[in-house]
Chains A and B, each alone.
Chain A
Amino acid sequence: ILNVEQSPQSLHVQEGDSTNFTCSFPSSNFYALHWYRWETAKSPEALFVMTLNGDEKKKGRISATLNTKEGYSYLYIKGSQPEDSATYLCAYWGTGSARQLTFGSGTQLTVLP
């Protein structure tokens, strides 16, 4: 059983604050790490797919880093806005996983106006 863990489980921040959360995953047999943004009653929206150790990706105010040797990824949101409120999911894809993603349980972010 693959262990993909996200922390914190939930987070409340004020509008304008910057925040970050963590995804940890198995460091062996790594192939790719996905980040998704998931709003209630909608389908998960892909944010980033990261494959190389040291990868850094950015999309607007959201960025992510990847450390495959130690098995963690950080997602950063700069200047949080209420529309950033959602659950952020990471998903690990290993080399032996037959094209399956193993998801973490998510970090639920609430940005207060």
Chain B
Amino acid sequence: SQTIHQWPATLVQPVGSPLSLECTVEGTSNPNLYWYRQAAGRGLQLLFYSVGIGQISSEVPQNLSASRPQDRQFILSSKKLLLSDSGFYLCAWSGAGVEQFFGPGTRLTVL
């Protein structure tokens, strides 16, 4: 069966510090991968999606970037965090079907 992992679960970082969140999927190959964010009081916003290694599409201009160095690995990064980057970050994957499956999420607080 397929599983999706995200880490860390929680993170507190100072403004201006770098960020790296990792997501890995097991039990499937060539998944579509997604990064979402929920900011305080708002819905889920799609940040990036990837249909293959090295292929990243960005949905909104922002202070973040994403990379897919391996088929089942998706990384969300920032060189310098802003206060507005605080939120709950979710990684998700989908296959050939219509369903999308979410990871456990990372709660990021930027102080």
Interface set of A (CB-CB < 8 Å, partner B) = 31-32, 34, 41-44, 46, 49, 51, 89, 91, 93, 98-106
Contacts and interface: CB of A to CB of B under 8 A. Distances in A.
Contacts, number: 51
Contact of B44 (A42, A98, A99, A103): A103
Contact of B105 (A41, A49, A100): A41
A36 to B, nearest CB: 8
Interface stretch (B14-22, B70-78, B96-104): B96-104
Interface residues of B, number: 23
Contacts of B104: 42-43
Contacts of A43: 90, 102-105
A34 B44 contact: no
A39 to B, nearest CB: 11
A108 B57 CA distance: 30
